[in-house]
Structure 1
Amino acid sequence: MTNEKTSLWGGRFAGGPADALARLSVSVQFDWRLAPYDIAGSRAHARVLAAAGLLDPDELGQMLAALDDLEAACASGEFRPTIDDEDVHTALERGLLERLGALGGKLRAGRSRNDQVATDLRLYMRDHARGVAQAVVELADALTEQAANNVNTAAPGMTHVQHAQPVTFGHWLLAHVQPLLRDLDRLRDWDARTAISPLGSGALAGSSLPLDPAAVAKELGFTAPAPNSMDAVADRDFVAEFLFITSLIGVHLSRLGEEVVLWTSTEFGWVELDDAFATGSSIMPQKKNADIAELARGKSGRLIGGLVTVLTMLKGLPLTYDRDMQEDKEPVFDAIETLELLLPALAGMISTMTVRVDRLTAAAPVGFSLATEVADWLVRKGVPFRDAHEITGKLVALCSVRECELEDLTDDDLKTVSEHLDPSVRQILTVESALAARTTPGSTGPGPVAEQLAQVQHHLDTWRSWAVEKVVPR
């Protein structure tokens, strides 16, 4: 048992650090969340020290028991960092020394905070990436369920926020699922690259002690030890890449949020949000605001900011470890916490919203959205598309002057515009025929949308087991 202040450095210094330096250096207020992962690494390190003959069997048993007790004390809140603890590693060594006395000091052999923190952060991120993936799957499930209910619901597809061509609303909802599926793929690809263990790299040069980095890597759920000790402690590609993925998720959520804001507006009125997932106004009693969707837009900037912070921090660092890297953790923690808050709220909002099928269907043909059907009809009659486009444009111009729709034009009007037009063109001037004509894979017809729906559901099913995997074996 010891009451001395714990420090992981200082032997060559005549005195302690200035208060200003100590306050600037401290990181335990945010890196304490790495404690379970640091203890897991300590268990693995203790075993390789024993295998190297640096701990005898009795010492190993005492060490593992003390680590178990320390882990339980951390989980219960009985053991907490103090203002004198510089970081999570310092706090945990203090806890170990309190339990083991001088024996606890043996655990530091052959490792450095440089390889420790790189290992802890990889473990933490791999673990929490699966939580993010699970929440992404839940949002994709909510969108997919709404899409399944609207495979045949006609809607006005848009480009430039202008009515373009009819689509099914199910197809539109699934268009928001596809980028989420790519985000999930990116997370799994990232995880494969991040499953490399830095432990054994020491400060930068490895260790002269007969350690076994491969055994440590296996115990901690990594696929292999790092191939280069200098790169192992200097590498933060895995942080930057993860923050890129979370930023892109944020952008995808922002685009979905923007559309929900439009869909729920009085001008659109296509969707009604459940009261539990909307807010009101402190002055206007009639208001029902899509705050979750708006926060999805706003928080994307926060996620992008974290990525820019880390890239800027990394861009000029010489090898190997530099204290600048203390700035790598808070953006990661913030990105994970942001998505853990945002994704369930969005999933709840989407799963409980009511789609106004009547309004969508009524809006589908508005704005000459069937004009392309006329051009395609002319092409099937042998008219070059360039000419068909010109003819159809003249039809639209005539309708604009008359303030009528395409189907309101008379047979004489059709002939006046072009000799290629005849009354049979009216057969394709319906939303139903336009949608039914879309039969190619990936298009908006009910048939292809049903096929896409099945593929999406199968893809999501393959993700569920990965998202709940435990990264670090006990």
Structure 2
Amino acid sequence: GTSLAIDRQFMAEKLGFKKVSPNSMDAVSDRDFILEFLTASLQVILHLSRIAEELIIFSSPYFSWIKIPQEYMTGSSIMPQKMNPDVLELIRGRTGRILGYVVSMSTVMKGLPLTYNRDLQEDKIPLWEGYKLTVSILSMMKGIIEGMEVEKGKMEGGAKGYYLVATDIVERLVEKGMAFRSAYRKVGEVVKKLEDEGREFSSLTQDEWKKYFGFEEEEVKEILSFRDSVERKKVLGGTATSEVRKEIEKGKKLLKKK
């Protein structure tokens, strides 16, 4: 405080602050705002790191579900046919820096008495470097997502294997009145049989569909349709196109609000 007759509210307004601090000792020693910013940044970057990992996997030759824009790739140093998703790998790798800044700032603050201590000089690097890195990663990820190409045909092809319609069969049996546990067990037994024989659901004959599940031909066509399987999930948060679009619109509105 001060014995001088100053108007703190007036000064705060002129300096661009919303209000005055109620405790001067706390104001001088507090760095919660930096920790809050770094923690929020870490949460954002952790999510982007997970997205980067998925994009790396989905762009690999074994999947080829997406194509990363060339400007975010670099050529292999020895294999002329190979392109590396270096930017995505760096996004994934540099997440550790943000975590390091959170730990660094927490370590500075953990044992400080009131009020100002020279230790607080160490708050600058975590704050500014954390800010620059967060903005950089957001910018890079934005460019990658906007520029990437989705190979829809290959993605659909990948979704048709490994008995992915098994749950749809269970749900259809439940709709017909069978208890979920019984339906689950029945489908599991058929899956085991098909695995032993090296077959998929698509290889079943109409007679086999009738024998195992009592399905008619039209039901089988619906069950085996990947697109129908996706569109059947019309609950909140489901995979149906209408539900996905609703969630996208909610996200856009939230971003505009923020």
For this structure pair, what is the TM-score category when the shorter chain's length is used for normalisation?
A: over 0.9
Give the match for residue 215 of structure 2.
422
Of the structure 1 ranges 429-438 and 224-233, higher mean CA displacement relative to structure 2 is found in 429-438
Deviations 1:421-442 (A, max 9, x none): 3335413221122122111222
Q: 1:423 to 1:408 in 2, by over 3 A?
A: farther
Aligned residues: 256
Q: Give yes or no for the alignment of 1:274 onto 2:66.
A: no
Matches of 2:216 and 2:196 in 1, distance apart?
21
Consecutive unaligned residues in structure 1, runs of 5 or more: 1-205, 464-474
Alignment of 1:54-453 (within 5 A): 206-414=1-209, 417=212, 420-423=213-216, 425-426=219-220, 427-453=222-248
Higher-Rg structure is: 1
Deviations 1:283-329 (A, max 9, x none): 21111111111011111000000000111111111222222111111
Matches of 2:26 and 2:90 in 1, distance apart?
38
Does the 8 Å CA contact 2:42/2:95 hold for their aligned counterparts? yes
Amino acid at match of 2:223: I
Q: CA deviation at 1:207?
A: 1.4
Matches of 2:12 and 2:167 in 1, distance apart?
59
Q: TM-score, normalised by structure 2?
A: 0.93
Query: Greater relative contact order: 1 or 2 (C-alpha under 8 angstroms, separation 6 or more)?
Result: 1
Amino acid at match of 1:422: F
Greater than 6 Å deviation, 4+ residue runs = none
Q: TM-score, normalised by structure 1?
A: 0.52
Q: CA deviation at 1:261?
A: 0.5
Does the 8 Å CA contact 1:373/1:429 hold for their aligned counterparts? no
Matches of 1:355 and 1:299 in 2, distance apart?
26
Give secondary structure in 2 for the equivalent of 1:225. Answer: coil
Matches of 2:173 and 2:76 in 1, distance apart?
52
- Paired-residue identity, %: 36
Deviations 1:305-357 (A, max 9, x none): 00001111111112222221111111011111112322212211211111111
Q: CA deviation at 1:446?
A: 0.8
Matches of 2:185 and 2:8 in 1, distance apart?
70
- Aligned-residue RMSD, C-alpha: 1.7
Does the 8 Å CA contact 2:76/2:82 hold for their aligned counterparts? yes
Does the 8 Å CA contact 1:272/1:354 hold for their aligned counterparts? yes
Does the 8 Å CA contact 2:210/2:216 hold for their aligned counterparts? no
Give secondary structure in 2 for the equivalent of 1:329. Answer: helix
Consecutive unaligned residues in structure 2, runs of 5 or more: none
Amino acid at match of 1:318: P
